[in-house]
Structure 1
Amino acid sequence: MHAIQTSLEASLEDFAISRSERKELKALLAHAHGNQTEQAKIRQLAFRMATQAMEEVGEVTAMDWLESIIKLLYANEMKIKASAYFSPGDDCLHRIRQLISEARQTLDICVFTITDNRIVQKLEEAHQRGTQIRIISDDMKSEDLGSDMAALEQLGIPCRYDRTRAHMHHKFAIADTHLLLTGSYNWTRSASTENNENIVVSNTPRLLTSFQKEFNRMWRSLA
């Protein structure tokens, strides 16, 4: 991993991957092909480096660099995917539960409110298997009757809340830094049984990095 990090840092110096750098990175990353654990570690490193570099060189340049690294990491394995789900009905709920169930290393959640015990059950299971979960939610909604935020905190899951008169109205989650879930869908029972809602799930690097940057910014500001 040290050799890979050194090579990534070298390519970041001018944010242009030369032919020789591409050849070196391709050789270093080849051992990770097909190994999801190793790929996740390298992907997280690249995302972190790109996010940190945004302030210096801008989002477009950092994203171009990141996309080049992701393509090398996955070679012919990875395809950009996106899918949409709608409610009323259980499609959105099932996809949220699936995302939580499949998260193995990290799960960053930024949602207006959580009141659906079916989602909380999956969060508890993920926490118990060692997935590092962080949750940002609205301070006023966390005090509503039926809110599950206190129960999640009691499980030992780190939770932070906005402290303004306005609402923290985001609804998104990032699993293992490689899958984004976002949309209008509140994590409540009424969202699945009554409301017209939607979610989109995507592995697009540009979207992932932008949302991860926003989550990290909010997490730091609410400390």
Structure 2
Amino acid sequence: MPRPHFLFAATVVVATVLSGCDTPGSSTSPEHGGQAHARPLPPSTGDPSGSVRLLLNNPTGRATPVDRCEVELCTSLLALIEGAQTSIDFAVYGMRNQSELLAALKAAKARGVRVRAVVDRDVDGDNYYSSTNTMAATLGQVRDDRKVDQGLERDQKASDRGNKFDAEPTCGRPDGFAGYVQCLAYDLGDRCLLATHASREPFSGSEDDGDTGKVFNKIMHHKFFVVDGRYLWTGSTNVSDSGTGGYNANLIVVLDSPTVSSWYTREFETMWTDGKYHQRKPESGELRTTVGDAEVQVLFSPQDKAISNGVRPLLKRAKRRIDIAVFFLTNKAITKDLLDAHRRGVEVRVILDATAATNGYTKHELLREAGIAVKVDVWGGKMHMKSAAIDDEYVIAGSMNWTSAGEWDNDENTLLIKSPALATQYHEFFDQMWAEIPEQWATRNPDPESRDSGTSCTDGFDNDYDNLVDAEDPGCSANPPPMLELPPHWVVAKDKITCQHPPRG
């Protein structure tokens, strides 16, 4: 989810700003200095008696975010917390309105379980989720990335790095757009697909502006719990009324695996103990093992370059089909891989979030132009997954949006799971979601807060981040305004060996 104080293309504006005070237990570890070294991992031959479960949440029929623990995304986590005997280490973006989970964490601490947490905070100490401060005060052992972000802010100001975005792009800035410009050219075989992408507002550096600036407000975007050094709960689901509350489409992987849990414990300790976040974390090395019948590989962002080293190689090897359910798709390299897969005969389908479809850097219209099937969600909640299944063999899961910031800036985790059983489960779930979205949204984009988008006009939630809720939002009126146009794209005949934008004179 985006930070409330940043602009998101033409639509995302501040939602809620929390108290600027430090949380109890805020990290005092050094945020600068010294070479980052990876913590040693214990030797492992895998976990043949372990297990991997894939939990998928379809939000169809859910009317509003709730402070209840009733969907499996939540009950699976609650069971792990209640069963914890020695330790709970977790890294989450924040917390909002999940009373039962917070009570379970408090009870675990009271019975002697060591409970430690890492959350995101910006340079002012704010967190997007409104219960984060309460959680920190309740548990005490909660640290964050604020000091690192402040150091990045100082570095950015000292180098005046922002000036690199002042020059006009070679392809020309589209009318009505003020943000950083991408000049894009994709090869469709006998034609070239050209596009000029930008945000309507000046670039702000937030994740959801398209992740092109990489300035100082990186985010600690993990969503994982390690319990007793053995059990891992991780995926796309935030600990919130819309996440674990079930209002959004989300995914969770639950592993019984001391090996994989040790990798996440090392990532946790790098942040909690060493105070290293974002680009300051050491490389992980190859993290690959067997858990039960599944092969599992883990990549942490930004140190392991999860898109370049994990997601893209699988997309390039796809032979039959790729099903993608994703919150944001702004990464131009992934876009190329999907276009190439389509050209070689792979069936590619994408389900994208409605708010993300208004982003000035979204690539879904380029996929549509090339003949790839893309549907935009029409729930009140979000398509919040960051996932795919490939060839009935692989599942991609985790916290990382398919954006540049997901790979290069933010603290994220990505799992590549080779398991025909889990891939088949994902494909079947995707088929169900695909069938539930009307065909009109395969060629059009619904207003994320309107009568076109499920219960978005009655859910008490600011679905498009414009500070207007339900009836206050013009999209929910009897005569909603037209959607703002996205940046331009077009197809031209290919008269050279390679495509480029602007075209050769």
Tell me whether 1:137 sits opposite 2:352 in the alignment.
yes
User: For residues 71-118 of structure 1, what are the alpha-carbon distances to aligned partners after superposition, in whole Å with 9 as ceiling and x for unaligned?
Assistant: xxxxxxxx6311111101453112111011000111111111100101
**Which shows bigger deviation, 124-133 or 80-89?**
80-89
Q: Does the alignment pair 1:93 with 2:307?
A: yes
Q: Deviations over 1:178-220 (max 9, x none)?
A: 1111111100001112111111111224422332221111011
2:327 match? 112
Q: Which runs of 5+ in 2 are unaligned?
A: 1-292, 439-505
Q: Is the 8 A contact 2:298 2:416 kept in 1?
A: yes
2:297 pairs with 1:83: yes
The reply to whether residue 127 of structure 1 matches residue 342 of structure 2 is yes
Cα distance change of structure 1 residues 205 and 126 upon mapping to structure 2, 3 Å threshold: closer
Any gaps of 5 or more consecutive residues in structure 1?
Answer: 1-78
Specify the alignment match of 2:374 in structure 1: 159
CA root-mean-square deviation: 1.4
Tell me: CA distance 1:130–1:168, structure 2 relative to 1, closer, same or farther (3 Å). Answer: same
How far is the alpha carbon of 1:124 from its aligned partner?
1.0
Q: Structure 2: how far apart are the matches of 1:211 and 1:155?
A: 25
- Contact kept, 8 Å, 2:321 with 2:346, in 1: the verdict is yes
Question: 1:177 and 1:142 mapped to 2: Cα distance?
Answer: 27
**1:103 is aligned with what amino acid?**
A
Between the aligned partners of 2:304 and 2:368, the Cα distance in structure 1 is 26
CA distance in 2, matches of 1:88, 1:195: 6
User: CA offset at residue 143 of structure 1?
Assistant: 1.1
SS at match of 1:153: helix
Structure richer in helix, relative to its length: 1
1:147 counterpart SS class: coil
Q: Secondary structure at the match of 2:300?
A: strand
Q: TM-score, normalised by structure 1?
A: 0.62
**Residue 200 of structure 1: aligned partner:** 415
Which protein, 1 or 2, shows the higher relative CO under an 8 Å CA cutoff with sep ≥ 6? 1
Whichever residue aligns with residue 177 of structure 1, its letter is: D
Letter in structure 2 aligned against 1:173: A
- Give the % identical residues: 30
Is 2:391 aligned against 1:176?
Answer: yes
The one-letter amino acid of 1:85's match is L
4+ runs of 1 displaced by more than 4 Å?
none
The whole-number CA distance in structure 1 between the counterparts of 2:317 and 2:392 is 12
CA distance in 2, matches of 1:97, 1:209: 20
CA distance in 2, matches of 1:184, 1:102: 23
Per-residue Cα deviation, 1:122-168 (whole angstroms, up to 9, x for no partner): 11111111111010110111111111111111111000111123111
Change (3 A) 1:155 1:118: same
Normalising by the residue count of structure 2, what TM-score does the alignment of the two structures yield? Answer: 0.28
> Equivalent residue of 2:294, what SS?
coil
Tell me which residue corresponds to 2:364: 149
Asked whether the 8 Å contact 2:390–2:423 carries over to 1, the reply is no
Counterpart secondary structure, 1:81: strand
- Cα distance in 1, alignment partners of residues 392 and 384 from structure 2: 21
Q: How many residues align?
A: 145
Residues of 1 paired with 2:376 and 2:414: CA distance?
23
Distance in 1, matches of 2:355 and 2:391, equals: 29
